[in-house]
Amino acid sequence: MSKPDGSQYGRLAYWDQRYTDDKEPFEWYCNYNSIREHCHEHFRPHGKILNVGCGNSRVSEDMHFDGFKDIVNVDLSGVVIQQMIDKTQSLNGLSWQVMDARYMELDDESFDAVLDKGMIDTLLSGDNSVESANKFCSHVARILKPGGIYMCLSSGIPNERMTMLSNQDYSWEVHYFPVPKPVISEVEPKFNPTEEPTSCYWLYTCKTGGDDEEG
């Protein structure tokens, strides 16, 4: 599945057609193993996790088999959501909903964690990019419980993403970590995040204030 140009990102018809034409799982940036260590550090196995902009990635299935048992998956495309419902109906604890990330109808303080694997990048590549991304972040901050965490895997370098993510309105503490790009050819990609920040992906962890409840 090829990566679309940014002008297509905000068009539902594009995504529905894309998932109709190609039903094979597609991973934005990298697979679960690349962020597994961070997930175990920041997510609780029985915490409620939102995977936003899930597409047909295998990440929620992999997380399920790795011990995370309560994952809500949302995507704008009803086509891909139905595909994932059919595919994972035997996996208890995974649920799927059609939802626009900019207008999430979810209860306040209802999630322990939010996983974003390319969602904010998608919004920043479409129409009304900054407004759309700000709406999304506001909803994420609203639905996270005290002590909850928003984990964002992005191609955006810290100088770009921190301007948005460190907005005081969200009341969260932000840290970031380089994530190596996967090897897709015989030539291993250069990994030099200090001097060449675009040589890797970046994982941002945004933790809300307050104490999370153990459970």
| Amino acid 174: pLDDT | 97
Per-residue pLDDT at 186 exceeds 70: no
Asked whether 9 and 40 are in contact (CB, 8 A), the reply is no
| Amino acid 162: pLDDT | 96
User: 26-35, 156-165, 186-195: which has the minimum mean pLDDT?
Assistant: 186-195
pLDDT band at 185 (very low <50, low <70, confident <90, very high): low
pLDDT in tens, 143-162: 999 999 999 999 999 999 99
Alpha carbons 214 and 197: distance in angstroms, whole number: 36
pLDDT in tens, 34-55: 999 999 999 999 999 999 999 9
- State the pTM of this model: 0.91
Element (H, E) at 187: none
Asked whether 200 and 191 are in contact (CB, 8 A), the reply is yes
| Amino acid 213: pLDDT | 54
Burial pattern 23-57, b for ≥16 Cβ within 10 A else e, equals eeebbbbbbbebbeebbeebbbeebbbbbbbbbbb
Sign for the CA dihedral angle at 47, 106, 63, 152 comes to negative
Per-residue pLDDT at 6 exceeds 80: no
Angle among Cα 169, 175, 178 to the nearest 5 degrees reads: 135
Asked whether 71 and 47 are in contact (CB, 8 A), the reply is no
Compute the average pLDDT of residues 56-83: 97
| Amino acid 215: pLDDT | 42
Q: In what order do the strands lie in the sheet with 200-208?
A: 94-98, 71-75, 49-52, 111-117, 144-154, 200-208, 172-180
Write the DSSP string, 147-163: EEEEEEEESS-HHHHHH
Mean pLDDT of the chain: 91
pLDDT in tens, 102-146: 999 999 999 999 999 999 999 998 888 999 999 999 999 999 999
Question: What is the DSSP secondary structure assignment for residue 133, as one 8-state letter?
Answer: H
Compute the average pLDDT of residues 172-198: 84
Decide: helix, strand or coil at residue 96: strand
| Amino acid 9: pLDDT | 62
Compute the average pLDDT of residues 209-213: 70
Alpha carbons 25 and 169: distance in angstroms, whole number: 36
Compute the average pLDDT of residues 54-67: 97
